[in-house]
């Protein structure tokens, strides 16, 4: 049987075939589809956890109790999960544990382009890097074997082009998955990471790494493709495909499926064959550093960029100095992503923007787009959960250096559950008078409308407890008088709330609640709005909202009837009463 | 060994680039080709530019197309076609939907740029889709025009459409695909357009 699969779908297939039964993850591009795909296989338990640290710990518990488990996350998610990640090498596994890190070179949909291969060497666990969808499936199966054989978690690293590209995958359709579990032994002392035990474990890990290195030297996916000895290229991941695209079989290639622990013997063998060695890898000089440490002369980051993602033309130019004739490019206007028409965020941002004395600490989600043209309501965006804690720090500076500003935090529902709650607890406990706006659109939208603890549904769509944000906020110590719940499409109410909040001398929470426009449950709009061009004076108040249904045609503002969702926010901002129900 | 064929499909979020890419690539697999597809999900789907790259042949390595090597660029509107222009190879062909771009940012500003490419085919995708009763089907008209240019027969694609398009949309979309493939007036070489 063969099928066209995204790398992420192939990882799900492989994990299923490997009898992985427990999967816990938090969504994040480009990793999300792995969990979505595996959740439909029979006989697996898959869940959305509130964040990556929780997800990794759930997977850790499952593997120790004797069942193969998986956790998947985007590259920055591994930062959140770094504490259990580093300690799991010491803890050891029982049944296999695989951690998928989906990196995003080129920053298609992230805050940075960190190279998570370095986590493998830092946390002392083996690293596998598939180059295609087929390898995504096959290597996951091997990852579980390696994990159990060497009693270690395995880091499985993909990139956007591996996770989101599709290729043909061959697999056995009616494969009977062998249900083998491991027994759990109670009171096994190695699992208590106390200093005396960890010191012993560290020695064992170092010895284990030598064994894994010996395995790495014989690992079938660390392979030398012999051709002319003139040029030898060492590569891994998607870069391998680009190298083959450019050079075909004209150069020798050392392809590394497992680049940590580094297969030193394989590298020596290759160096003895190839006269000039290039290292072609995306991101950091990870392989290159290992080669150079061994004294193998090679050229890598001198000619292959650290920043951005690679592609065939970068590699061709760098090594052969050739390039194809191209038509000269035409400068066309960029069409960046925007908030949807009817999105509740438009109303809240419009109310906040009227105050020049508000500093707005943003967070990660669709609402981050409130920092871009024409809304430009946000001052900072750092990482998930940072809005509340950064707001606290900024507000506190005014004890010493008054700016006459009030600091507001803007955080989505999923992000609040992910890592906003502790920030809020801190602000309340230490009495920092910030305003926290929780943008509750009843969905984890940016990554494709996943469920979260507030939606009352699980990954599979079955009903669950609805965790009410207002209950959490009150439990964390916000006084009932300092909590407002509003619908941001009601501008007057929203403006009043923002005003009250701004003058509060205590921590204050606004829950801005309006369901996401992209939710399937959303009904068709019952009304639409139009602009009366006779009374419209082109003041552009409505265009500044950032609504994507509002367009300029023949120098007149109009509302595109195909896009209008009837939210009426534009009608409420129009000072000339020129916007009417159609 | 036949060389790889490389296609870029470009449009904006919500216009069906991903749907059409799926039908195209599944059909190519059914025809026995090796196929690789590159798409980017996430941030780019919020109404902004969206594109996909499809490559097929006997053996495909890279899912990404190199600048100056695309055989076809399928633009769901004029702006997105031009955005990818430097990826087209000298003898490659642009298939451009004549979309109604009436916003002031675009209107009348970019049409002239197509004269630089040797092979341009304008497709009245939007107009034809309207005739078939659903403007949203312009993506299938464009797919039809591409399949025609690639020299494929309708039959394989009909069954692929039946497999990958939801029942309630099948009739309209297959009709749009067929019109995209068959109608002579769809494909006008650029010279004729400038005489109009
Ligand atoms: C540590 C980390 N994990 C995951 C992500 C991916 N991510 C970006 S936005 C987002 C969803 C945010 O959802 P929510 O807070 O509800 O805001 P919405 O998109 O609905 O506006 C996720 C999961 C990330 N950027 N960082």
pLDDT in tens, B43-64: 556 678 999 999 999 999 999 9
Q: With a 6 A CB cut-off, is A442 part of the ligand 1 pocket?
A: no
Give me the pLDDT at residue B194, please. Answer: 35
Phi, psi of A27, deg, nearest 5: -65, 160
User: Same fold for the domain at A2-218 and the one at A529-581?
Assistant: no
Closest Cβ opposite residue A245 in set B13, B62, B89? B62
> Mutate which of A444, A452, A519 to test ligand 1's pocket (most atoms within 8 Å of Cβ)?
A444
Please tell me whether the peptide bond between A474 and the residue prior to it is cis, using omega within 30 degrees of 0. Answer: no
Closest by alpha carbon to A86, among A118, A125, A59?
Answer: A125
Q: With a 6 A CB cut-off, is A514 part of the ligand 1 pocket?
A: no
Cα B165 to ligand 1 centre (Å): 30
Give me the pLDDT at residue A513, please. Answer: 98
Alpha-helical regions (H) of A335-375: 345-352
- The nearest CA of chain B is from the CA of A205 a distance in Å of 37
Give me the pLDDT at residue B132, please. Answer: 87
Residue B160 has pLDDT above 70, yes or no: yes
**DSSP 8-state class, residue A463:** B
Give me the pLDDT at residue A394, please. Answer: 98
Kindly report, residue by residue over A555-564, the tens digit of the pLDDT. Answer: 999 999 989 9
The predicted model gives A317-331 an average pLDDT of 94
- Residue carrying structure tokens 């995708």: B125
Residue A105 has pLDDT above 50, yes or no: yes
Closest by alpha carbon to A229, among A265, A274, A270?
Answer: A274
Q: Residue A248: pLDDT band by 50, 70, 90 thresholds?
A: very high
The predicted model gives A494-499 an average pLDDT of 98
Closest Cβ opposite residue A168 in set B35, B68, B85? B35
Q: What is the CA radius of gyration of chain A?
A: 27
Report the sign of the C-alpha dihedral through residues A186, A192, A196, A199, in that order.
positive
* E strand segments, A13-112: 22-25, 45-48, 69-74, 97-103
Residue A20 has pLDDT above 60, yes or no: yes
Q: Residue B40: pLDDT band by 50, 70, 90 thresholds?
A: confident
Q: Residue A93: pLDDT band by 50, 70, 90 thresholds?
A: very high
Give me the pLDDT at residue B162, please. Answer: 95
- The nearest CA of chain B is from the CA of A575 a distance in Å of 24
Q: Are A289 and A300 in contact (CB under 8 A)?
A: no
Residue A60 has pLDDT above 90, yes or no: yes
Which residues 6+ apart lie within 8 Å of A487 measured at CB? A344, A493, A512, A513, A514
**DSSP 8-state class, residue B46:** S
Question: What ipTM was estimated for this complex?
Answer: 0.95
Q: Which of residues 364-403 of A touch B (CB under 8 A)?
A: 366, 369
Residue B190 has pLDDT above 60, yes or no: no
Q: With a 6 A CB cut-off, is A74 part of the ligand 1 pocket?
A: yes
In DSSP terms, A5 is beta-bridged to A167
CATH class belonging to A529-581 = alpha beta
Give me the pLDDT at residue A268, please. Answer: 98
Domain A345-519 has CATH 3.30.70.20: no
Give the span between the Cα atoms of B187 and B174, in whole angstroms. Answer: 18
Kindly report, residue by residue over B83-97, the tens digit of the pLDDT. Answer: 999 999 999 999 999
The predicted model gives A285-314 an average pLDDT of 98
Extract the tokens encoding A76: 């920055």
- Residue carrying structure tokens 């919500």: B14
Extract the tokens encoding A469: 């944000």
User: Which residues of B are less than 8 Å from A334 in CB distance?
Assistant: 49
Return the H-helix or E-strand segment holding A571: helix A569-573
Label the pairing between strands A127-128 and A154-159: parallel
Residue B185 has pLDDT above 60, yes or no: no
The predicted model gives A16-43 an average pLDDT of 97
Extract the tokens encoding A27: 């969504």
Give the span between the Cα atoms of A310 and A282, in whole angstroms. Answer: 6
A356 Cβ under 8 Å from any chain B Cβ = no
First to last CA, chain B: 43
- Residue carrying structure tokens 């600048």: B67
Domain at A2-218, CATH from 3.40.50.970, 1.10.3720.10, 3.40.228.10, 3.10.180.10: 3.40.50.970
Label the pairing between strands A358-361 and A406-412: parallel
Residue A148 has pLDDT above 80, yes or no: yes
**Burial bucket for residue A365 (CB in 10 Å: 0-12, 13-18, 19+):** buried
Q: What percent of chain A has pLDDT over 90?
A: 97
Give the span between the Cα atoms of A537 and A61, in whole angstroms. Answer: 64
Q: Are B53 and B40 in contact (CB under 8 A)?
A: no
Sketch the domain layout of chain A as residue ranges.
Answer: 2-218, 222-327, 345-519, 529-581
Domain at A222-327, CATH from 3.40.640.10, 3.40.50.920, 1.20.1070.10, 3.40.50.300: 3.40.50.920
Extract the tokens encoding A162: 């591996």
Q: Residue A375: pLDDT band by 50, 70, 90 thresholds?
A: very high
First to last CA, chain A: 54
Kindly report, residue by residue over A515-552, the tens digit of the pLDDT. Answer: 999 998 888 999 999 999 999 999 999 999 999 999 99
Give me the pLDDT at residue A327, please. Answer: 95
Return the H-helix or E-strand segment holding A8: helix A7-17
Kindly report, residue by residue over A380-420, the tens digit of the pLDDT. Answer: 999 999 999 999 999 999 999 999 999 999 999 999 999 99
Give me the pLDDT at residue B13, please. Answer: 85
Angle at A101 between CA A95 and CA A104, to 5 degrees: 170
Q: Domains (ranges, CATH) in chain B?
A: 5-102+111-194 (3.40.920.10)
B79 Cβ under 8 Å from any chain A Cβ = yes
Give me the pLDDT at residue B192, please. Answer: 41
Give the span between the Cα atoms of B157 and B177, in whole angstroms. Answer: 9
Q: Are B77 and B12 in contact (CB under 8 A)?
A: yes
Give me the pLDDT at residue A412, please. Answer: 98
Closest by alpha carbon to A57, among A14, A96, A25?
Answer: A25
Residue B191 has pLDDT above 50, yes or no: no
Give me the pLDDT at residue B184, please. Answer: 58
Cα A448 to ligand 1 centre (Å): 10
Give the residue with greater pLDDT, A218 vs B196.
Answer: A218
The predicted model gives A321-339 an average pLDDT of 92
Give the span between the Cα atoms of A233 and A251, in whole angstroms. Answer: 7
Residue B193 has pLDDT above 50, yes or no: no
Extract the tokens encoding A296: 């193998």
Cα A122 to ligand 1 centre (Å): 26
Count H helices, E strands: chain B?
7, 7
Extract the tokens encoding A225: 């493709």
Mean pLDDT of chain A: 97
Residue B6 has pLDDT above 70, yes or no: yes
Count H helices, E strands: chain A?
20, 22
Kindly report, residue by residue over A110-129, the tens digit of the pLDDT. Answer: 999 999 999 999 999 999 99
> Mutate which of A81, A364, A450 to test ligand 1's pocket (most atoms within 8 Å of Cβ)?
A364
Give me the pLDDT at residue A57, please. Answer: 98
Q: With a 6 A CB cut-off, is A451 part of the ligand 1 pocket?
A: no
Q: Which of residues 7-46 of B touch A (CB under 8 A)?
A: 12-13, 25-26, 29, 34-46
User: In Å, how far are B103, B115, B122, B188, B189 from B193, measured between CA atoms?
Assistant: 22, 11, 8, 7, 7
Query: What dihedral do alpha carbons A374, A380, A381, A387 form, nearest 10°?
Result: -120
The predicted model gives A489-505 an average pLDDT of 98
Extract the tokens encoding B175: 């009709």
Give me the pLDDT at residue B2, please. Answer: 58
The predicted model gives A118-147 an average pLDDT of 98
CA-nearest residue for atom 10, ligand 1, is A365
Q: Are B56 and B28 in contact (CB under 8 A)?
A: yes
Closest Cβ opposite residue B66 in set A33, A324, A555? A324
Q: Are A414 and A451 in contact (CB under 8 A)?
A: no
Give the residue with greater pLDDT, B14 vs A4.
Answer: A4
Q: Are A486 and A470 in contact (CB under 8 A)?
A: no
Cα A408 to ligand 1 centre (Å): 19
């Amino acid at each position: 049987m063969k099928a066209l699969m995204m790398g992420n779908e192939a990882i799900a297939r492989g994990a299923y075939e490997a009898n992985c039964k427990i999967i816990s993850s938090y969504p994040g591009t480009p990793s999300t589809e792995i969990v979505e795909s595996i959740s439909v296989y029979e006989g697996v338990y898959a869940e959305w956890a509130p964040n990556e640290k929780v997800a990794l710990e759930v997977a850790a518990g499952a593997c120790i109790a004797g069942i193969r488990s998986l956790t998947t996350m985007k590259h920055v998610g591994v930062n959140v999960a770094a504490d259990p990640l580093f300690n799991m090498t010491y803890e050891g596994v029982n049944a296999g544990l695989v951690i998928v890190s989906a990196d995003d070179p080129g920053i298609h949909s992230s805050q940075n382009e960190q190279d998570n291969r370095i986590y493998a060497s830092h946390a002392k666990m083996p690293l596998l890097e598939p180059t295609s969808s087929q390898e995504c499936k096959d290597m996951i199966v091997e990852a579980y074997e390696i994990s159990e054989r060497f009693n270690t978690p395995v880091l499985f690293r993909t990139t956007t082009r591996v996770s989101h590209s599709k290729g043909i995958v061959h697999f056995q359709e009616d494969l009977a998955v062998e249900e083998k579990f491991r027994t759990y032994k109670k009171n096994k002392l190695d699992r208590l990471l106390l200093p005396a035990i960890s010191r012993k474990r560290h020695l064992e890990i170092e010895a284990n790494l030598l064994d894994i290195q010996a395995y790495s030297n014989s690992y079938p996916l660390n392979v030398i493709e012999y051709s002319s000895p003139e040029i030898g290229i060492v590569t891994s991941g998607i870069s391998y495909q680009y190298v083959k695209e450019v050079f075909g079989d004209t150069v020798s290639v050392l392809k590394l499926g497992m680049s940590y622990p580094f297969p030193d013997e394989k590298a020596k063998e290759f160096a003895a064959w190839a006269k000039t060695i290039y290292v072609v890898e995306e991101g950091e000089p990870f392989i290159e550093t290992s080669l150079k440490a061994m004294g193998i002369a090679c050229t890598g980051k001198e000619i292959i960029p650290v920043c951005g993602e690679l592609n065939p033309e970068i590699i061709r130019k760098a090594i052969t100095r050739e390039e194809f004739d191209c038509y000269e490019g035409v400068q066309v206007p960029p069409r960046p992503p925007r908030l949807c028409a009817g999105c509740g965020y438009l109303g809240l941002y419009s109310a906040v923007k009227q105050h020049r004395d508000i500093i707005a600490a943003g967070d990660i989600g669709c609402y981050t787009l409130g920092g871009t043209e024409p809304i430009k309501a946000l001052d900072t965006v750092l990482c998930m959960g940072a809005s509340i804690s950064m707001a606290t720090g900024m507000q506190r500076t005014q004890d010493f250096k008054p700016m006459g500003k009030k600091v507001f935090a803007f955080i989505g529902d999923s992000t609040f559950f992910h890592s906003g709650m502790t920030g809020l607890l801190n602000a309340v406990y230490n009495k920092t008078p910030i305003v926290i706006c929780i943008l509750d659109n009843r969905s984890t939208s940016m990554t494709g409308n996943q469920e979260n603890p507030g939606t009352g549904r699980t990954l599979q769509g079955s009903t669950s407890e609805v965790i009410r944000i207002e209950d959490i906020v009150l439990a964390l110590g916000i006084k009932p008088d300092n909590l407002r719940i509003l619908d941001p499409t009601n501008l007057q109410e929203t403006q009043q709330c923002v005003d009250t909040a701004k003058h509060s001398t205590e921590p204050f929470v606004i829950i801005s609640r309006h369901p996401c426009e992209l939710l399937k449950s959303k009904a068709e709009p019952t009304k639409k709005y139009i602009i009366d061009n006779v009374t419209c004076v082109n003041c552009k108040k409505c265009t500044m909202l950032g609504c994507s249904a509002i367009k300029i045609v023949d120098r007149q503002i109009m509302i595109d009837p195909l896009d209008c969702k009837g939210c009426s926010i534009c009608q409420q901002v129009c000072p000339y009463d020129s916007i009417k129900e159609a | 060994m036949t060389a790889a064929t490389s296609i870029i499909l470009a449009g904006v979020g919500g216009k069906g680039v991903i749907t059409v890419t799926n039908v195209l690539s599944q059909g190519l697999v059914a025809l026995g080709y090796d196929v690789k597809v590159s798409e980017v999900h996430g941030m780019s789907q919020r109404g902004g530019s969206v594109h996909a790259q499809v490559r097929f042949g006997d053996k495909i390595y890279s899912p990404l197309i190199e600048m100056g090597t695309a055989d076809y660029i399928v633009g769901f509107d004029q702006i997105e076609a031009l955005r990818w222009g430097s990826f087209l190879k000298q003898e490659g062909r642009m298939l451009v939907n004549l979309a109604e771009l009436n916003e002031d940012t675009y209107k009348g500003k970019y049409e002239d740029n197509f004269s630089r490419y040797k092979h341009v085919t304008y497709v009245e995708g939007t107009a034809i889709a309207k005739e078939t009763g659903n403007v949203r089907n312009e993506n299938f008209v464009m797919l039809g025009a591409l399949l025609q240019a690639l020299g494929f027969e309708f039959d394989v694609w009909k069954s692929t459409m039946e497999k990958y398009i939801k029942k309630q949309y099948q009739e309209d979309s297959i009709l749009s695909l067929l019109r995209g493939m068959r109608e002579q007036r769809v494909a006008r070489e650029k010279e004729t357009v400038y005489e109009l």
